[in-house]
Amino acid sequence: MKINKQMLSEVAQLKQEILQRTREKNVNDDLYTNLTELYFDIINAISEVSPEKTPKIHYYANLLEQEIQFYSPMDAYIVGASAKERSDEKQVCWGYQYAIARKISEQKLDIEIQMNFNELAELLRSKHELINAFTKIYRKVHGAIMHNIFDFIKLGRASAAA
């Protein structure tokens, strides 16, 4: 499928709406502050045990960001537009989700995320719940597109129907 200006405009507009809505919600819920506090709490807790390993939280956050980057609004839009006639919406969404999971798995990113999560949890010892909270909030704060990816598939399907 060839990408045109209308497609780019529709995707960009929806993306901005989602990001704006998410920013407002994150500010209202103090998620930016919570994430920063968790980051520093983790650094402080690790530095008590093994100061040289404090950069591991930064590396872990980078891995989470890589995972999030697999979700492409334009790719999801194209999948929706291309699959309009072939299957129902849920099947298209699941197919997209499966393709992303396969890409993440092929890159062994899921394994690396889990290994780093486990290592951080071990370093944090009795404060291991910090890494659970950090992961959850990081994905909420930075994963707006990932969490709303099906909206782009729906937009593609609706545009193809028009």
Tokens (6 digits) for 120: 């951080």
CB atoms within 10 A of CB 5: 7
Spatial CA neighbour of 37 closest among 112, 119, 109, 141: 141
Domain hosting residue 38, numbered range: 5-161
Question: Quick one: which H or E segment has residue 160?
Answer: helix 149-161
* Assessment of whether the complete model's pTM goes beyond 0.85: yes
Tens-digit pLDDT profile for residues 64-123 = 999 999 999 999 999 999 886 666 888 899 999 999 999 999 999 999 999 999 999 999
Counted domains in the chain = 1
